[in-house]
A and B are shown apart, each in its own frame.
Chain A
Amino acid sequence: MQTTSLNVLLVDDQPERMQTLHDALHASGHTVVSQLTGVHGLSEHVQQCKPDIVIIDMDSPDRDTLESMAAMSRDAPRPIVFFAEQEQDAITIGEAIRAGVSTYIADGLQPDRVRPIIETAIAHFHHYQQLRSELDATRDQLASRKVTEKAKGLLMKHHKCSEEQAFKTLRKLAMDRGQKLTDVASEVIRMFEANAHRGDDRR
């Protein structure tokens, strides 16, 4: 539907997230211009492409540029305002902030026309956040496995024991101290390394 098509400016520093959101909004019939943060001249960009709506990643320091444009908008060809002037939009904006996305709209634009776009953006940012935390969790898991393996190896070498015995030693230490296996493993590594250094000094 041509009548609901809006000019959207996306400002984000995550290229993948920006691309998927770009595609989703484009598929809904909107004209989308994307820009990575860190590119200077956002205010010129806004003046050139005269967006109906600007969606910006809250990690971008350029948010304050939009705040300034909103305050000095008498000079701007198309004034933009922070989206949330109305009480009923407060919930949407609360969700947006939690997802890490902020929105500015052309003054006078009907909030009803903007809300679906903001909701799409929130969904994308949420999804990305989820992927991010899953990735972080996997990374933590891998890192902790690596540490445990290394501690086991050191125990096997220095105490001349089997892998199973080494693992049992670590697990017992963890249980006795009420610590995580990874923390105990890190400490074991530190201890062996400190001893090795002392050995170097003696030589």
Chain B
Amino acid sequence: MSVASAEKTDLTLGFIALTDCAPLAVAREQGFFDQAGLNVSLVKEASWGNIRDKVSYGLLDGAQMLAPMPLAATLGLGTRAVAMVTGLVLSYNGLAVTLSRTLFDQLDLDPGKVQTPDQIGQLLRRYCQHNHKHGGAKPRLATVYPYSCHFYQLHQWLLAQQIVPGEDIELVALPPTRMLSTLKAGEIDGYCVGEPWNSLAEQQQLGRIIVSGHQIAPNAIEKVFGVTQQWASEHPVTHQRLLSALSQACQWLDNPDNQPELQQLLLHPDYLGPQAPAKNLQPHQPVLHKFWHQQNVPHPASAIELLEQMRARGQWQGVNLSEVAEAVYRPELTPR
């Protein structure tokens, strides 16, 4: 047991109101931060851009981040380069592709049969081709953020179905909070985003989930806990305590008995509020996620996969993948 005192005990951490903000919410509400001697305030941020900037400029001590974010920030993609690190994964999978009911109903599905995501994908491709031949407008799909798993996995899945984003389908950007209303207004035909926004579309009968992230990239890291490299080196004890508290929260979340309590917690306005989907909702395609998997170690191998996605999407042209991956994804920091 380390008895070294924490360099800083009053901390502010940022998060985005999505289902997978749960580890931070649980660490606070179940007292894991308190037990670690940390007084943590959680701040709900309006955008991923805010999360990155406020961590970069020291307005937040750390934050829930999209898995590619500490890599993109370190590389200076779309921003001034600020070296960041992660010592803990917060969640795996938990995103999905949802189509509007209108588009889904036009795909000529056999209503008597259960359709696999690939079968739906083939029908979607046929729809795009038919549409193209008859001069119809391309279906529009929305994503939230360019350096994200939802952006990469949507591309991966569409390309696997031989649907080319940009050519067969138009991609647009929208904040998660506007996905549902825009889908309802018929201005987009679907989206790829994290929960609860897919389940909510089913709950409100506006859309159908056609494929979940765990089917596209099983056990892909979705969110990590990120800090700047400078913060990590100046606050090693505090950082360790934070990671331990968050790791405890992830293990708590892994226990199915705690599900009802989590549901209740997310309903609080500090977290998702009324956006939390109904408890008894049974989507056609369940969106699976994990909060605990092999001790939530951020392996550089996973970072390399993300860097390859950045290259494939033309966001980055670098070649020093392992060097970047090892500087940012830091297994030696993970509590065990």
A-side residues, CB < 8 A to B, are 40-41, 43, 58-72, 74-75, 81-82, 84-87, 89-90, 93-94, 97-98, 102
Contacts and interface: CB of A to CB of B under 8 A. Distances in A.
B80 A40 contact: no
Interface stretch (B27-35, B144-152, B251-259): B144-152
Nearest to A58: B50
A71 B77 contact: yes
A40 B49 contact: no
B174 A71 contact: no
Interface residues of B, number: 34
Nearest to B147: A71
B322 interface: no
18 contacts: A41-B187, A43-B173, A59-B46, A60-B47, A63-B46, A64-B47, A64-B145, A64-B175, A65-B174, A65-B175, A67-B49, A67-B146, A71-B147, A72-B173, A82-B78, A89-B80, A93-B53, A93-B80
The binding surface of chain B is classed by DSSP as loop
Interface stretch (B107-115, B128-136, B176-184): B176-184
A65 B59 CA distance: 22
Contacts of B119: none
Contacts of B172: 43
A61 B47 contact: yes
B109 to A, nearest CB: 29
B80 A65 contact: no
A72 B148 CA distance: 13
A41 B178 CA distance: 10
Contacts of A84: 79-80
Nearest to A89: B80
Contact of A75 (B47, B166, B185, B187): B166
B156 interface: no
A63 B49 contact: yes
Contact of A64 (B49, B57, B80, B187): B49
B78 A67 contact: yes
B173 A68 contact: yes
A82 B53 CA distance: 11
Interface in B170-223: 171-178, 181-182, 185, 187
B48 interface: yes
